[in-house]
């Protein structure tokens, strides 16, 4: 196995084709976060973005996009943003992890949404987690019918709220592929306010993430297309979602709504309309991403499994990095896995977010 390393913008058209063919070889690789277009977009905003290309018998057979930081600390490309990670490869290909790290000049490689059955990585997995998905055509029916049959009370309540929204605010309409840049800016403002309100890190306070999302919103490629969906009441945007899609998978990425209309549950309406419209546009699966949320438990038709861990080789920097990152990640996973811990932690974050917002408002005044 020959392994070469390239900048994301240095791949040839032939390598792009080989990468697409590897994606098409397995449903596990159908996620748009695994496409070369996503890696290329991240690479335009992250200086350490690289791609390791595995070559066997004169053919490019595997691709690992990653980011290289100081001291050879590596991470899956877009770690913290990407909801799917993998070494995308042709069937039957395997690799030596030590050779891979040496070729990439890495002491460690961190991942948190690795697709399962990446066998050479399995000894380095520290946890496996559910990643809920929606099959937009479950069984022989459609998703709305499945949802009404599985959760009749919840579905009835949501539809009732949608009718009330139409009466109170304006006729409800849904645009699956909205091209208005102002709608995207509105979504980012809502999401940024939500992050601050709930005490989370505000991703949209980071200019490179804003620039990445704006670039992806303009991207139109078979394996990675940016899709902005908006729910309107009259001419007023009520909720919005932005995420990339491949030919068969739509990744649920950033969803937010107008907080003034929260009593109508616009977020749930948004997810339902998105799943229904995705089916009409050829999508088979909406990937809701790893994480325990009540709305995901209601919406999902099944679960995938994703893994997190640290691929390492004997090196003092790798040991120090794992000792630093491992306990914090373990504590976070423990809190998220137990409702008795998760709910107080969530309340604490919300209180801290409210206090921070109030202090910022007073400073502004």
Is 258 in the same domain as 350? Answer: no
Residue 124 near residue 312, CB atoms below 8 Å: yes
Is 85 in the same domain as 177? Answer: no
Q: Distance (Å, rounded) from C-alpha 316 to C-alpha 336?
A: 30
Residue 111 backbone phi and psi in degrees, to 5: -140, 155
Q: In this prediction, what percent of the chain has a pLDDT beyond 70? A: 85
Q: Which among 83, 94, 100 is positioned nearest to 119, based on CA atoms? A: 94
Q: Distance (Å, rounded) from C-alpha 256 to C-alpha 239?
A: 6
Q: Check residue 325 and give its pLDDT.
A: 61
More confident residue, 340 or 238: 238
Is 260 in the same domain as 344? Answer: no
Q: Distance (Å, rounded) from C-alpha 286 to C-alpha 303?
A: 11
Q: Check residue 329 and give its pLDDT.
A: 57
- State the average pLDDT over residues 185-190: 98
Is 266 in the same domain as 141? Answer: yes
Q: Which among 218, 217, 227 is positioned nearest to 251, based on CA atoms? A: 227
Non-local CB neighbours of 301 within 8 Å, separated by 6+ positions: 133, 134, 135, 138, 143, 146
The counts of H helices and E strands in the chain are 11, 14
Q: Distance (Å, rounded) from C-alpha 67 to C-alpha 38?
A: 13
Asked whether residue 290 is assigned to any structural domain, the reply reads no
Query: In terms of DSSP H, where are the helices of 47-180?
Result: 97-104, 143-150, 152-168
Q: How many domains does the chain have?
A: 2
Residue 223 near residue 246, CB atoms below 8 Å: yes
Asked whether residue 293 is assigned to any structural domain, the reply reads no
Is 141 in the same domain as 278? Answer: yes
Residue with structure tokens 């397995």? 26
Q: What tens digit of pLDDT does each residue of 245-274 get?
A: 999 999 999 999 999 999 999 999 999 999
- State the average pLDDT over residues 214-234: 98
Cβ-count burial of 120 within 10 angstroms (0-12 exposed, 13-18 middle, 19+ buried)?
A: middle
CATH number at residue 104: 3.40.630
Q: Check residue 312 and give its pLDDT.
A: 86
The pair of structure tokens assigned to 321 is 């990095």
Q: What is the DSSP letter of 198?
A: T
- State the average pLDDT over residues 157-168: 96
The yes-or-no verdict on residue 365 having pLDDT over 70 is no
Q: How many CA atoms lie within 13 A of 277 on its CB side?
A: 20
Asked whether residue 359 is assigned to any structural domain, the reply reads no
Asked whether residue 297 is assigned to any structural domain, the reply reads no
Is 104 in the same domain as 155? Answer: no
Cα angle at 137 between 133 and 139, to 5 degrees? 100
- State the average pLDDT over residues 221-244: 97
Is 157 in the same domain as 34? Answer: no
Is 89 in the same domain as 172? Answer: no
Asked whether residue 344 is assigned to any structural domain, the reply reads yes
Residue 174 pLDDT grade (very low, low, confident, very high; cuts 50, 70, 90): very high
Is 315 in the same domain as 225? Answer: no
Residue 249 near residue 31, CB atoms below 8 Å: yes
- State the average pLDDT over residues 345-357: 43
Q: Distance (Å, rounded) from C-alpha 286 to C-alpha 158?
A: 19
Asked whether residue 288 is assigned to any structural domain, the reply reads no
Asked whether residue 299 is assigned to any structural domain, the reply reads no
Among the candidates 249, 283, 317, a domain finishes at 283
Sign of CA dihedral 187, 190, 196, 199: negative
**CB neighbours of residue 211 within 10 Å:** 13
Domain that holds residue 36: 2-130+305-354
Strand partners, 110: 75, 310
The yes-or-no verdict on residue 69 having pLDDT over 70 is yes
Is 121 in the same domain as 160? Answer: no
Sign of CA dihedral 329, 335, 336, 342: negative
Is 104 in the same domain as 162? Answer: no
Query: In terms of DSSP H, where are the helices of the chain?
Result: 13-24, 36-43, 97-104, 143-150, 152-168, 181-197, 207-217, 266-280, 294-299, 316-337, 339-364
Among the candidates 221, 253, 283, a domain finishes at 283
Is 11 in the same domain as 120? Answer: yes
Residue 244 backbone phi and psi in degrees, to 5: -85, 155
Among the candidates 220, 253, 283, a domain finishes at 283
Q: Check residue 71 and give its pLDDT.
A: 86
Q: Check residue 27 and give its pLDDT.
A: 95
Q: In this prediction, what percent of the chain has a pLDDT beyond 90? A: 78
């Amino acid at each position: 196995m020959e392994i070469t390393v390239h900048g994301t913008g240095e791949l040839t058209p032939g390598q792009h084709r080989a990468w697409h063919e590897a994606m098409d070889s397995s449903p596990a690789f159908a996620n748009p976060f695994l496409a070369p277009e996503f890696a290329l977009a991240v690479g335009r905003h992250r200086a350490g973005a690289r791609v390791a290309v595995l070559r066997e018998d004169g053919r490019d057979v595997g691709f690992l996009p990653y980011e290289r930081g100081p001291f050879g600390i590596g991470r899956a490309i877009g770690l913290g943003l990407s909801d799917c990670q993998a070494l995308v490869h042709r069937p039957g290909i395997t690799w030596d992890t030590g050779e891979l790290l040496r070729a990439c000049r890495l002491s460690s490689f961190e991942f948190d949404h690795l697709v399962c059955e990446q066998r050479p990585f399995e000894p380095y997995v520290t946890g496996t987690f559910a990643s809920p998905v929606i099959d937009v055509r479950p069984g022989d029916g459609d998703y709305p019918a499945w949802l009404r049959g599985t959760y009749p009370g919840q579905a009835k309540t949501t539809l009732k709220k949608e009718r009330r929204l139409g009466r109170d605010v304006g006729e409800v309409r849904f645009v699956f592929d909205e091209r208005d840049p102002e709608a995207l800016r509105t979504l980012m403002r809502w999401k940024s306010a939500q992050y601050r309100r709930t005490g989370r890190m505000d991703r949209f306070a980071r200019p490179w993430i804003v620039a990445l999302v704006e670039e992806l919103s303009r991207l139109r490629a078979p394996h990675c297309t940016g899709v902005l969906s908006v729910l309107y009441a009259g001419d007023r945007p009520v909720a919005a979602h932005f995420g990339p899609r491949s030919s068969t998978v739509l990744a649920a990425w950033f969803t937010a709504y107008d907080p003034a209309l929260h009593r109508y549950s616009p977020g749930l309406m948004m997810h339902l309309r998105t799943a229904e419209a995705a089916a009409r546009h050829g999508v088979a699966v909406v990937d809701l991403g790893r994480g325990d949320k009540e709305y995901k438990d209601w919406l999902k038709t099944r679960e995938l499994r994703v893994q997190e861990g640290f691929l390492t080789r004997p090196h003092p920097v790798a040991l120090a990095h794992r000792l630093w990152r491992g306990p914090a990640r373990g504590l976070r996973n423990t809190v998220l896995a137990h409702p008795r811990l998760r709910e107080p932690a969530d309340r604490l974050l919300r209180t801290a977010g409210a206090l921070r917002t109030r202090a910022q408002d007073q400073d502004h005044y």
